[in-house]
């Protein structure tokens, strides 16, 4: 997606993408799918959501009619107390909706070529990994900056998840340097598929605020083979069929589970 700070436009963009992917079992959207902050101001997040907004009915209806699951990579999710969380929302095939995972590692960095970022000024840290199950597939959830922390994925690998979700909004400098390497490493060490829907291209609003993200939504198999890479900037969709036999094949060749040591 190429989300902005216009919620209505983002919802329309998401629904357009979902319509193109309506035959899929699971549709994955990126981090900040329904609101992407474009200004450089720090501090309290200007927009937060709960599950009472009217637009959720469109996602529920789509999921029920199409019989598909929707994983909305993240939204700024309003909490009763304190800061919001950067939260993955799961709309299941029956139209039930719930927060599924809160981003654990928050992006507080000073990267050359990009403005300083202090995500912890806007969000509270998530507290724990989360595994969900869809159609018999065990899915480990994470968001963007989490991908740099191998211990999170070791936790998932020890529990034999089949798919790792990494919805993201990567900066261009860090994306060029690290995106492909990190996602392939997470797939190889976890012996799981990695699905990473990403924000992509130039994001701008009528007030002249601009932001750019790296894009390259990826799907990687458990051997580290890139099955899909949307390498053109801007909104686009790709459908990929994941074969469970690939998991068994890779794990049989290199039985990492039986070799794992605790220390």
* Cα dihedral sign, 243-62-130-238: positive
3-state SS assignment for residue 119: helix
List the catalytic residue out of 24, 28, 80, 103. Answer: 103
Q: Which of 16, 24, 28, 31 is catalytic?
A: 31
Q: Is 28 a catalytic residue?
A: no
Question: Does residue 189 carry a catalytic annotation?
Answer: no
The DSSP 8-state label assigned to residue 3 in this structure reads -
Rounded distance between C-alpha atoms, residue 146 and residue 122, angstroms: 17
Active site residue 31: yes
Residues 236, 39: contact at Cβ < 8 Å? no
Going by the DSSP 8-state scheme, the letter that residue 103 receives in this structure is -
Q: Catalytic one among 53, 80, 133, 144?
A: 144
Does residue 132 contact residue 139 with C-beta atoms inside 8 Å?
yes
Q: Which helix H or strand E contains 58, and what residues bound it?
A: helix 56-66
The label of the residue with tokens 């959501």 reads 49
Beta bridge partners of 97: 91
Picking from 42, 148, 34, the residue whose alpha carbon sits closest to that of residue 87 is: 34
Active site residues: 31, 103, 144
């Amino acid at each position: 997606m190429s989300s902005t700070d216009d919620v209505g436009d983002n919802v329309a963009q998401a629904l357009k993408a979902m319509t193109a992917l309506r035959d899929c079992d699971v549709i994955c959207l990126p981090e900040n799918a329904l609101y992407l902050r474009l200004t450089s101001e720090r501090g309290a997040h200007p927009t937060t959501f709960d599950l009472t907004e009217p637009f959720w009915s469109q996602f529920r209806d789509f999921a029920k009619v199409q019989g598909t699951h929707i994983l909305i990579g993240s939204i700024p999710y309003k909490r009763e107390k304190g800061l919001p969380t950067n939260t993955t929302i799961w709309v299941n095939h029956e139209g039930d909706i719930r927060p599924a995972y809160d981003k654990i590692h928050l992006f507080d960095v000073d990267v050359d070529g990009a403005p300083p970022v202090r995500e912890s000024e806007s969000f509270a840290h998530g507290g724990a990994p989360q595994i969900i199950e869809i159609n018999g597939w065990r899915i480990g959830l994470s968001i963007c900056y989490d991908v740099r922390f191998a211990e999170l994925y070791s936790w998932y690998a020890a529990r034999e998840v089949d798919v790792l979700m990494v919805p993201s909004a990567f900066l261009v400098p860090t994306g060029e340097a690290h995106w492909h390497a990190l996602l392939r490493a997470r797939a190889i060490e976890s012996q799981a598929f990695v699905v990473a829907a990403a924000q992509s291209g130039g994001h701008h609003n009528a007030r002249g605020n601009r932001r750019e993200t790296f894009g390259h939504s990826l799907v990687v198999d458990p051997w580290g083979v890139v099955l899909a890479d949307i390498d053109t900037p801007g909104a686009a969709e790709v459908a990929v069929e994941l074969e469970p036999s690939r998991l068994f094949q890779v794990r049989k060749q290199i039985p990492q589970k039986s070799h794992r040591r605790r220390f």
